[in-house]
């Protein structure tokens, strides 16, 4: 085997590089949640690194947006399990809906960039929905086992309904209306209490 055929060892990420990446993501998440337009240069300055360091981690604005999106998605999925560990399944599902709305609303300034990411890789949408579906399914399974949630509800239907509700109310109606719609959805997925026998 020639020297050219020898596979290169993958270098581990240095601790300082990992810290810089985390700090950049944290600063970008806060900046993108603000009402003001955000420049990548400002994010780098607030993190205390040069713009070249930001570009080494995130070559494009879209790459930074996608990294935030993936991080928030992972947290949102983990939240489903954490809520289920401390609440009943129906309360866990309702609480998770609020966290879903919080997560979605923090990206209002990155809608165009996020749309560009999703259009360029349709698999990103599919993978995100699969992860959200699995998170919701865990709650639905627990609810079916305890008799608090219907056992014929599909997790993918919940996810698509939440996305539709958020998209509609973000244009008009706001968070109050979204909360009322979440309550209506919960009424539809809860198992009715058994009628008292005479």
Same domain? For 91 and 138 the reply is: yes
Give the per-residue pLDDT at 10. 46
In the chain, the number of structural domains is: 2
**Which stretch of DSSP H or E encloses residue 163?**
helix 155-171
Sign of CA dihedral 97, 103, 107, 108: positive
* pLDDT value at residue 124: 60
Output the pLDDT for position 33: 73
pTM: 0.74
Residue 182 falls within a domain, yes or no? yes
CATH of the domain at 86: 1.10.357.10
The tens place of each residue's pLDDT in the chain, 198 residues long, gives 445 555 455 455 577 888 889 999 988 888 877 767 778 899 999 898 999 999 999 998 888 888 888 888 889 899 999 999 999 999 999 999 999 888 776 655 455 544 454 455 556 667 778 888 999 999 999 999 999 999 999 999 998 898 888 878 766 667 888 899 999 999 999 998 776 665
Q: Given phi > 0 = left and psi -120 to 50 = alpha, else beta, which region is 34?
A: beta
Q: Of 147, 76, 150, 62, which Cα lies nearest the Cα of 110? A: 62
CATH classification at residue 28: 1.10.10
């Amino acid at each position: 085997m020639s020297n050219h055929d020898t596979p290169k060892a993958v270098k581990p990420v240095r601790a300082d590089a990992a810290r810089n990446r985390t700090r950049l993501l944290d600063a970008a998440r806060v900046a993108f949640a603000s009402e003001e337009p955000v420049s990548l240069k400002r994010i780098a300055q607030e993190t205390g690194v040069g713009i070249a360091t930001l570009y080494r981690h995130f070559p494009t604005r879209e790459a930074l947006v996608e990294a935030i999106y993936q991080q928030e998605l992972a947290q949102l999925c983990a939240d489903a399990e954490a809520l289920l560990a401390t609440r009943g399944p129906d309360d866990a599902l309702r609480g998770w809906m609020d966290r879903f709305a919080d997560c979605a609303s923090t990206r209002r300034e990155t809608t165009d960039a996020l749309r560009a990411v999703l259009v360029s890789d349709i698999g990103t949408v599919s993978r995100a929905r699969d992860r959200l579906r699995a998170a919701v399914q865990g709650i639905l399974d627990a609810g079916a086992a305890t008799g608090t949630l219907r056992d014929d509800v599909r997790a993918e239907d919940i996810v698509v309904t939440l996305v539709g509700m958020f998209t509609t109310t973000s244009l008009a109606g706001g968070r109050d209306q979204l909360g009322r719609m979440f309550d209506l959805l919960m009424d539809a997925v809860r198992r009715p209490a058994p009628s008292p026998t005479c």
